[in-house]
Structure 1
Amino acid sequence: MGIAVLLVEDDYDLAAAVVGSLELEGFICDHAANGPHGYELASTNTYDVLLLDVMLPGLSGIGVCEKLRKDGVTTPILMLTARDTLDDKISGFNAGTDDYLTKPFNMEELLLRIRALSKRFSRQSRKLSVVDLEMNLDTHEAIRSGNPIQLTPTEWKLLEVLAVHSPKVVSRVQLEQTVWGDSIPSQSLLKVYLNKLRKKVDIPALPPIIQTLPGVGVVLKLVDDHEE
């Protein structure tokens, strides 16, 4: 299967040229013309590389990048921009972008950078480890102390976000937005799923690692007895 790319670019002529060139090389390419649509596609689909224009309607490329990284999306991001000042690049790298390409660019250079990002990412271990919990992001398999954990898609999303941010605390709002998007449920529904997750992850024979901090959020780490 070819490399899957999402292009978020509001210049339709440039987008058509990029998509056409990528597809000729065997790439699979989706296109969004504004920030919110790009964020939606990147959040709900799996891509090998994301191409984000900096200046986008609705939400800037840097804004899209920041939201995706906060959601735990680790897909490589190549920022496309006509602004090449050091401050602009620093802002992008601080937001979580992996590479920059200044407009106007040579299509061959774009292809080389996409392939390089894709290879670098594919060589990385797509696994998360927190204490004795291991998560395979490709197969959605979770194991704790050698014991497989069967998770529903919603439970997996919750655990993945907590693992990506561990040992930092994740707010309830962030958990809700990551799992349910704009259709944020009642607080009680999140509580129900967290309780289900605890029953599967924090089994009696092992020390608990899912900790709720009232008024703050939830954190995935080894719970100190003094913190209980």
Structure 2
Amino acid sequence: MSTKIFIIEDNPEFRDYLRRGLTYEGYLVRVAPDAETGFSIQNEFHPDVLILDLMLPGMDGIEACKQFRENNYDLPILMLTARNSIGDRVTGLDAGADDYLGKPFDFEELLARIRALLRRTGPGKNVLTFSNLTIDLSTRGTYRNGKSILLTNTEYEMLVFFLSHPQEVILREVLLNRIWGFDLSNSGNVLDVYVGRIRRKLGEPALIHTVFSVGYILKELDK
């Protein structure tokens, strides 16, 4: 699967230049002209790297960076700006950016920065994230909006499976065999009981939804 890069840049010519160049390098690229559009795209695209311009219309890159970091603390963020002072760099890094690249820059340097961010965080990263829900695989810690959630071993394994397949319909029999290793005909309502427990622990708004007579899906409802 191609590495996914999300670009938020208001200059259409520069945005298209980045999109074409990174697509040519083999990355799967999505773009947005502003932070507000970016938030909605990020929730369904789940990028591996975010390239964020500092000077954006409406919400600027600093505030956008803070919100992206609150929603997904594991997302590598590279901030771009024509304002390349030490103060701007410090402000961007303090807001949650992982790296900072001043314009103009050589495209090869951008590629090197992206590769460095990917080496720090993946592909063997130990964190699964969807929306405001995060699981740290190294500690088994589960968090929503930064608040810890206590799960049993079975609940934890089920939730890891959901986060490993976001926005995909998971068949009941697939989930049963994955977690317990037995056939659907022998399950009774054990699956529904466990899913119900997980939903209650995660709270509202719901993220795990029933696909009737089929299975379940981890997704955010359309706002």
TM-score class, shorter-chain normalisation, is 0.5 to 0.7
For the structure 1 residues 195 and 38, does the alpha-carbon distance in structure 2 shift closer, same or farther, using more than 3 Å as the test? Answer: closer
Structure 1 residues 142-175: Cα deviation after superposition (integer angstroms, max 9, x where no partner)? 984533344597xxx9xxxxxxxxxxxxxxxxxx
Equivalent in the alignment of 1:126: 127
- Return the TM-score normalized by structure 2: 0.61
AA of the residue aligned to 1:24 = Y
For the structure 1 residues 146 and 64, does the alpha-carbon distance in structure 2 shift closer, same or farther, using more than 3 Å as the test? Answer: same
For the structure 1 residues 118 and 196, does the alpha-carbon distance in structure 2 shift closer, same or farther, using more than 3 Å as the test? Answer: same
Structure-2 separation of matches of 1:87 and 1:24: 34
Equivalent in the alignment of 1:71: 71
For the structure 1 residues 195 and 116, does the alpha-carbon distance in structure 2 shift closer, same or farther, using more than 3 Å as the test? Answer: closer
Equivalent in the alignment of 2:115: 115
> Aligned runs of 1:1-228 on 2, under 5 Å?
1-122=1-122, 123-126=124-127, 128=135, 133-135=140-142, 144=151, 146-149=153-156, 150=158, 196-197=200-201
Structure-1 separation of matches of 2:116 and 2:74: 16
AA of the residue aligned to 1:111 = L
AA of the residue aligned to 2:127 = R
For the structure 1 residues 19 and 144, does the alpha-carbon distance in structure 2 shift closer, same or farther, using more than 3 Å as the test? Answer: same
Structure-1 separation of matches of 2:71 and 2:17: 30
Structure-1 separation of matches of 2:202 and 2:30: 37
- Give the conservation status (yes or no) of the 8 Å contact 1:76–1:117: yes
Secondary structure at the aligned position of 2:155 is classed as strand
Shift of 1:90: 1.2
Secondary structure at the aligned position of 1:80 is classed as strand
- Give the conservation status (yes or no) of the 8 Å contact 2:126–2:136: no
- % same residue: 33
Greater Cα offset, 43-52 or 76-85: 43-52
Q: Any unmatched runs of 5+ in structure 2?
A: 129-134, 144-148, 167-196, 204-223
Structure-2 separation of matches of 1:78 and 1:2: 19
Equivalent in the alignment of 1:169: none
Secondary structure at the aligned position of 1:50 is classed as strand
- Give the conservation status (yes or no) of the 8 Å contact 2:155–2:198: no
Structure-2 separation of matches of 1:99 and 1:61: 13
Structure-2 separation of matches of 1:129 and 1:121: 13
AA of the residue aligned to 2:8 = V
- Give the conservation status (yes or no) of the 8 Å contact 1:76–1:121: yes
Calculate the aligned-residue CA RMSD, in Å: 3.4
Shift of 1:31: 0.6
For the structure 1 residues 8 and 198, does the alpha-carbon distance in structure 2 shift closer, same or farther, using more than 3 Å as the test? Answer: closer
For the structure 1 residues 148 and 37, does the alpha-carbon distance in structure 2 shift closer, same or farther, using more than 3 Å as the test? Answer: same
AA of the residue aligned to 1:95 = A
Structure-1 separation of matches of 2:70 and 2:3: 24
Q: Any unmatched runs of 5+ in structure 1?
A: 137-141, 158-192, 200-228
Structure-1 separation of matches of 2:43 and 2:100: 21
- Return the TM-score normalized by structure 1: 0.59
